[in-house]
Amino acid sequence: MKKALQLGLAAATIAFLIGCQGLGASAGPGPTPSPTPGATPPAPAGSLNTSINHIVLFMQENRSFDHYFGQLNVYRAANGLPTDVDTWGPGGTPNGISTVSYDPTTGKPGPPISAFHMQSACSENLSSSWNESHRAFNINDRSLPNGGPDNMDGFAFVEGQFAFQSNQAGFGVFTDFTGKRAMGYYDQNDLPFYYFMASNFATSDRWFSPIPTRTQPNRLYWMAATSQGFIKQPDRQIPATTIFQEMDQAGITWKIYTASKNTYFSFFSYFNAHHTNVVPVAEYFTDVANGTLPQVSYIETGIVKDLTSVSALDEHPDNNVQTGAAFAEKLITALMQSPSWKDSVFIHTYDEGGGFFDHVPPMTEVPPDGFPPQLQPNDFVAGFTKSGFRVPLIVISPFSKKNFVSHTPMDFTAALKLIETRFNLPPLTARDAAMPDMTEFFDFTTSTGPWAVPPTPPQQTHTLPCTQGVPAG
């Protein structure tokens, strides 16, 4: 038994030693067990305050929405996108839209003129002044109480009359006395860059100029959300608080890049001590390339005085639209290909409809302040309670919603509201205070946005001649 016990102890000792040798011979700890699979963590979200550090505002001249973008649904359908843009007929075709012409022999309405495809990149000038705009809304405005309904039926008549009376007064040399040019439109073949950008990024079919009159008062709204009563070019500087003054007080950096020696900022008294912020547009290209854009930028292609545009880049009717669109392409492409792209938004729009037709009536507006319109005895009597016409808009940013069309009525002082919201600034007037802040145009569900890698748009073509006179088509 003693021998059996010794054998058992020996076997136990051998087993223990073998086990120790096995542990000692191990190359190290075994493989780490794989963690239990779980949900992929969500991508970090962005926001207006964390994602957008540069806001660029670019305004061109005198184009209505239907005149430029009336064929957007045709383009969108061809590219597999929803046809949810409010244009003037099913599929965006003219569909019989017309307005009565002007008969220079009688001074009365003549035969209707239908919308037609423009065959020239230019046209004779049109008028979008206070009286002409109110009659374009409704040709019978002067004979109906409170102006009557906005039937959007006076465009050709107004522009034919304007041409005839201008010649009679010796102010111009016109040949289109019927007003046909007011009914012309462009399409995706004429403006391929704009059609691509408006369809891929974000646009709106309810984006209006602030007041129904010409360039200069609308440009005052672009900077101060008021014209302080002016319905035409001011005859003096006005003391209105501008967005630039508010930005200076808050320490927000800004510049105005101009392609000429003029700026609409000069209509404000605040300009006198702050004109050094107005710089040549060449600095824009340097700043985007170096990542040194200010927090807010304005880009101007010229300033219009009387009936003459001093810049060939502004898309004014008597200038080549394709030349202006190519300049816009240059500005936007430079941004998309730069280090500034990742946290910028570029808002491209127009100051007023320019006398070209549109089928959507104006929106109801909040008067900006206590300044009523400065009317002359023969001016149409109205207040600042009606917007101007719809104008084109493209919102371009890494954070723009893809293929987005806003249907929310707003005028372009909403861009001021966007600046105020982003940089915590107070409203300038009751007008911008009443506007949406434009955040519906953006997608901040990720930190980089839907367009972190921008698309490659087609180049703007130069296919149309620049001819004046009675338009073909």
Q: Is residue 156 part of a domain?
A: no
pLDDT band at 275 (very low <50, low <70, confident <90, very high): very high
Q: Is residue 108 part of a domain?
A: no
pLDDT band at 150 (very low <50, low <70, confident <90, very high): confident
What are the E-state strand segments in 199-301?
202-204, 207-208, 254-258, 278-280, 296-300
Place of tokens 């190359």: 27
- Cα separation of 180 and 167, whole Å? 17
Mean pLDDT of the chain: 88
Measured torsion, CA atoms of residues 66, 68, 71, 73, in degrees rounded to the nearest 10:
-80
Determine the structural domain holding residue 309 and report its residue range.
Answer: 48-69+187-441
Question: Percentage of the chain with pLDDT > 90?
Answer: 79
Quick check: 109 and 139 in contact, CB under 8 A? yes
What pTM does this model have? 0.89
- Cα separation of 405 and 391, whole Å? 14
Q: Is residue 109 part of a domain?
A: no
pLDDT digits (tens, 9 = 90+) for 22-40: 333 333 344 444 445 555 5
Q: Which of 22-36, 300-314, 340-354 has the lowest mean pLDDT?
A: 22-36
Q: What does the pLDDT read at residue 305? A: 40
Q: Is residue 255 part of a domain?
A: yes
Q: Is residue 430 part of a domain?
A: yes
Q: Is residue 121 part of a domain?
A: no
- Cα separation of 377 and 304, whole Å? 25
Q: Is residue 473 part of a domain?
A: no
Between residues 399 and 308, which one has the greater pLDDT? 399
Q: Work out how many domains the chain is built from and give that number.
A: 1
Q: What does the pLDDT read at residue 49? A: 96
Q: Is residue 381 part of a domain?
A: yes
Q: Which of 29-43, 120-134, 452-466 has the lowest mean pLDDT?
A: 29-43
Q: What does the pLDDT read at residue 38? A: 54
Q: What does the pLDDT read at residue 312? A: 79
Q: Which of 131-145, 154-168, 457-471 has the lowest mean pLDDT?
A: 131-145
CATH of the domain at 334: 3.40.720.10
pLDDT digits (tens, 9 = 90+) for 60-70: 999 999 999 99
- Cα separation of 252 and 312, whole Å? 32
What percentage of the chain's residues is helix, strand, coil (to nearest 5)? 35, 15, 50
Q: What does the pLDDT read at residue 470? A: 80
